[in-house]
Chain A
């Protein structure tokens, strides 16, 4: 019955939310410095109005939790959720399981924008009111996708999404070439650019969280609203349109929303690979392929995954930080293979 599908998806959502809560807690409790882990929930309770608990946490320890760990955990959650939901949505509108949110050139464009700031004069921007690095990455990412879309739809003419994907490949190559050229001319910034590209959450502040929240909220809301329509698109452009769906409009809105959110995420955290493609697939393996389940679950699982993936990076070779992009792939790939294997066996 239809109702049983609804019931099982509700169970999955409950599990997803629970996993996210556990990850959030673990994220604020674990770190190289700061209070003993079990005191952290107490100190949060103590800060609530009308509740007074003697948590035994000093003010400096509280600052570590509140000013360093909490924004970092929240940023990881926002970025992880955004990349996963965008990835799942891109896979839906392009009906291609190998697509990730960087497909249409966001990553390359953002990389070019960031490289531009590094090569022109990174040191000189330290006194600026607004840090131009995330701004340049954001604008670069959006510009690249805009060019892809204009070129792809102009040449593609009709409904085909293949031209759009190919235009994305071309724009990505062009942008990457430009970036490489700039780097070759300014080899002194290679290391900085490289570490930006690998992605990081270590410098996360409340400002970053505030910067990215509006985009993530708007984008994920728009994408989640399209979850049923993404199911309709599964039968292809022609049939979806014969079933009364304006395919081009749906694709445009989904691409714009996913790109906006991804560009914002990339701007504050660099290029964190792997999440946008593997989290949606892990979700599909566990909970089925309907986008009504895949999109919300990608949000929960993506957020939880990136929080948890960020934890070993903080403590492993302390005080240096392992780039988050390395950890996501290093932890995620074996887990994904394991999941793939167990599911194949179960079938």
Chain B
């Protein structure tokens, strides 16, 4: 079980500050969901954690700064599912998931037998065996999305970052993908940080929400604390009803203005 501490993380592109001084402590096994309007800085934060964008501030995994570790080791600690993954059309599902073993293969080496059998295990467990030998170009959006998650799982990293993991999926596949992440989180004690647009889904799966607006955290806490009609009206400029089910589940219902 691994904790993720973010200390004063800031990201800027050219003249624009995308994220200003984000701090948080994600506890081991916790699911933190970043919400906020387009361009709020959610993806920037995830990219800063995984180290693909330059940033200031510190990212600590179990108290050790991630930037002080070699790149391969970083990839063993943090797995990342990008918003729009690059999917080489001629690659097979198995080859793609095998890329997740890259952090464990030496620079000039090739995957060991156990890397290959590990990937076969993941494919079997996630019910993806039928996609293993098919080319990515011939798969549906939902099938590709599951392979991207499978690749991240193959990294065996204790921290999992998801950037809009369900944006391309229909409601059924959205639920399946998030159920899968939640199951893996429970089974393996993964610490999850995700950026999501669907507030109802965010409230359903996350332990904690962090609402980011123009690079600043404007609300943080449990779904009930953050998902309030007046908060959402202020920062999204929307008119919504927040409906709470008897079991505590929250539904965000948009309202017509006229």
Contact = CB atoms under 8 A, between A and B. Distances in A.
B107 A244 contact: no
Given A241-B52, A245-B71, A235 B105 contact: no
A232 B99 contact: yes
A242 B99 contact: no
B88 A289 contact: yes
Contact of A234 (B73, B80, B88): B88
A236 B86 contact: yes
Interface string B145-174: 000000000010000000000000000000
Contacts of A239: 80, 82, 85-86
Contacts, number: 70
Chain B: interface residue count, which band? 35 or more
Given A235-B99, A289-B88, A242 B50 contact: yes
Listed residue (A228, A231, A244, A245) with the most chain B CB atoms within 10 angstroms of its CB = A244
A236 B82 CA distance: 11
B88 A229 contact: no
A244 B95 contact: no
Nearest to A235: B86
A288 B82 CA distance: 26
Given A234-B91, A238-B52, A244 B82 contact: no
Interface in A284-301: 284, 288-290, 292
A2 B116 contact: yes
Given A238-B52, A241-B51, A243-B155, A289 B91 contact: yes
B220 interface: no
Interface in B84-117: 85-88, 90-91, 94-95, 98-100, 102-103, 105, 107-110, 116
A243 B75 contact: yes
Interface residues of A, number: 25
Given A228-B105, A232-B99, A242 B80 contact: yes
A242 B76 contact: no
B52 A228 contact: no
B72 interface: yes
Contacts of B99: 231-232, 235, 243
Contacts of A243: 75, 99-100, 102-103, 155
Contact of B102 (A158, A238, A244): A244
A241 B78 CA distance: 12
Interface in A189-234: 225-226, 228-229, 231-232, 234
B210 to A, nearest CB: 22
B94 A238 contact: no
Contacts of A228: 105, 108-110
A162 interface: no
Nearest to A284: B90
B243 interface: no
A342 interface: no
Given A242-B80, A244-B71, A244-B75, A235 B88 contact: yes
A343 to B, nearest CB: 12
Nearest to A241: B52
A13 B110 CA distance: 18
12 contacts: A2-B120, A5-B95, A231-B95, A236-B86, A239-B86, A242-B50, A243-B75, A243-B99, A244-B72, A244-B75, A244-B103, A289-B88
Given A235-B87, A244-B103, A245-B71, 11 more contacts: A2-B120, A228-B109, A239-B85, A239-B86, A241-B51, A242-B51, A242-B79, A243-B99, A244-B73, A246-B71, A284-B90
